[in-house]
C-alpha cells in the first residue's frame, strides 16, 4: 500500500519545498515527486498547507504520561512513555534510567530489548544515566546508588541486542580503557554528572566518548585556568552536546555563546522529561523524594534543585526559535537529524528523503503538532 502526503511545506536536505508529494510504501519513503508529475497512491493524506518535518528524536526521556521509567522498567512503561511524547512530535526516543541498582539496570535493559522486539512505536534503545557518576555533581541522583564503573559491569552494559545503548558516566569514575571497551562494543558513551578536569575529559574523548549529557548542567565548568568538562565539550569538534532548552537549566545567552564556539550540527535538543509531560498531575515521587513543577515547566525537588524538566520536544523546538533566534529548519534538525547522527542512525532517520524511514511530524505555524507518522503509520 502506498500513501501520498500532499499539499504541504516540506523540510528536505535542500531546504523548504512545496508542491511536492511524499510517497510512502510500507515503513519508508519511496519517492518524493513533483505534484504535477505522474504518481499513484492507494491513499492520499492532505497536509492542508501545514509543515512536514522529520520526526523528533529524544535521547533523554525519563518519563511521561504519568510514568517514571525507574519506577517500573517494563515494556508497558516504555509504551506509555512513548505514547505520551508522540503527541508532541517525538517519533524516536531512548527511555532513560536514572542512577539505580544494577539489578534495576538489568531489568531496564531487558525491557528495552523486549520493547524493540515487540514493535513498541518509537523506541530506539535505552539511555542508562548513571550510576557511574561523580557525587560532587550528582544533582538529584541518589548518592547511595552511585558507584565506580569497572570490568564487572561491562557485560551488563553491552547486553542490549537490536537497539542503541547510551551510557552517561563521569569519566573520572572509570578508566579510559573501559570507555574504549564500551565504545568498541557499540555503546555510545556520554559524559555527564562529572567533575572531571579538561585532561580527564580529553582522554575520555580520545578513547571513545562522543557526547555530553545536558551541557553545562551537572559538570565541571569553564574557568580561566581550568577548562573543565564544558571547555572540553566546546573545544572538541566531533562530539555532540545535548541541551535542555527550557529557560531554566541554562541561560539562553550562554547557549548562544556555546553555539558560536562549536559546529552547530553538534548540538541536539533533549527534554530530560519526567512523568509530568503529557500528564495532568504535575507532582511525582523520585526515589522517595517529592518532585513538582515550580513554574513555567521547571521541575524541582523539596530543596529547590532542578529535577529534570516538564517540557516536550515541540516546546523545545519553539524555545529554540524564541530563545536562540534560530530558524525553524535549524531547530527541527536539532530535534531530528542531529540526535540521529549522534546515535549513528542518520542514514535511516532524521531526514525527509527517499529511502529514509517514514518517521514524520506535521506542525502548524505555531509549531504545534497536528499528526505524526512512525514507520509510515499515522497517529490519527
Q: Are 66 and 275 in contact (CB under 8 A)?
A: yes
Distance CA 179, CA 146 (A): 17
Q: Which residue has the cell 516546546?
A: 315
Q: b/e map of 364-378 (b: 16 or more CB within 10 Å)? A: eeebebbbbbbbbeb
100, 272, 310, 312: the catalytic one is: 272
Q: Which helix (H) or strand (E) holds 231?
A: helix 228-235
Residue 206: active-site member: no
* DSSP conformation class of 322: I
* DSSP conformation class of 284: E
C-alpha cell at 144: 547511595
Query: What is the chain's length?
Result: 380
Tell me the HSE value of 269 on the side-chain side, using a 13 A CA sphere. 34
For residue 72, give every residue at least 6 positions away whose Cβ sits within 8 Å of its Cβ, in sequence order, or none: none
- Catalytic residue positions? 272
Amino acid at each position: 500500500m502506498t500513501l501520498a502526503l500532499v499539499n504541504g511545506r516540506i523540510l528536505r536536505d535542500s531546504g523548504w519545498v512545496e508542491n511536492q508529494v511524499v510517497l510512502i510504501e510500507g515503513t519508508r519513503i519511496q519517492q518524493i515527486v513533483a505534484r504535477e508529475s505522474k504518481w499513484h497512491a492507494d491513499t492520499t493524506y492532505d497536509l492542508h498547507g501545514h509543515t512536514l518535518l522529520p520526526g523528533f528524536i529524544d535521547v533523554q526521556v525519563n518519563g511521561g504520561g504519568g510514568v517514571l521509567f525507574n519506577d517500573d522498567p517494563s515494556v508497558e512503561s516504555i509504551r506509555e512513555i512513548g505514547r505520551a511524547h508522540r503527541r508532541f512530535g517525538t517519533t524516536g526516543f531512548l527511555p532513560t534510567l536514572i542512577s539505580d541498582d544494577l539489578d534495576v539496570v538489568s531489568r531496564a535493559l531487558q525491557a528495552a530489548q523486549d520493547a524493540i522486539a515487540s514493535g513498541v512505536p518509537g523506541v530506539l534503545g535505552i539511555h542508562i544515566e548513571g550510576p557511574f557518576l561523580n557525587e560532587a555533581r550528582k544533582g538529584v541522583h541518589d548518592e547511595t546508588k552511585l558507584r565506580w564503573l569497572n570490568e564487572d559491569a561491562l557485560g551488563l552494559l553491552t547486553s542490549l541486542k537490536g537497539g542503541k545503548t547510551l551510557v552517561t558516566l563521569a569519566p573520572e569514575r572509570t578508566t579510559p580503557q573501559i570507555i574504549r571497551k564500551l565504545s568498541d562494543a557499540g555503546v555510545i558513551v556520554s559524559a555527564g554528572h562529572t567533575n572531571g578536569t579538561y585532561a580527564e575529559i580529553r582522554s575520555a574523548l580520545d578513547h571513545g566518548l562522543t557526547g555530553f549529557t545536558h551541557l553545562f548542567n551537572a559538570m565541571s565548568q569553564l574557568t580561566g585556568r581550568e577548562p573543565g568538562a564544558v571547555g572540553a565539550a566546546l573545544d572538541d569538534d566531533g562530539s555532540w552536546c545535548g541541551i535542555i532548552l527550557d529557560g531554566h537549566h541554562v541561560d539562553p545567552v550562554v547557549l548562544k555563546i556555546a553555539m558560536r564556539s562549536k559546529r552547530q550540527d553538534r548540538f541536539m535538543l533533549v527534554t530530560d522529561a519526567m512523568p509530568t509531560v503529557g500528564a495532568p498531575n504535575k507532582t511525582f515521587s523520585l526515589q522517595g523524594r517529592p518532585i513538582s513543577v515550580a513554574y513555567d515547566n521547571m521541575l524541582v525537588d523539596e530543596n529547590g534543585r532542578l529535577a529534570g524538566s516538564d517540557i516536550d520536544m515541540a516546546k523545545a523546538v519553539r524555545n529554540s526559535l524564541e530563545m536562540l533566534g534560530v530558524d525553524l529548519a535549524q531547530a527541527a534538525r536539532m530535534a531530528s537529524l542531529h540526535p540521529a547522527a549522534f546515535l549513528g542512525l542518520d542514514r535511516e532517520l532524521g531526514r525527509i528523503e527517499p529511502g529514509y524511514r517514514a518517521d514524520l511530524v506535521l506542525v502548524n505555524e505555531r509549531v504545534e503538532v497536528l499528526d505524526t507518522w512512525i514507520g509510515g503509520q499515522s497517529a490519527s
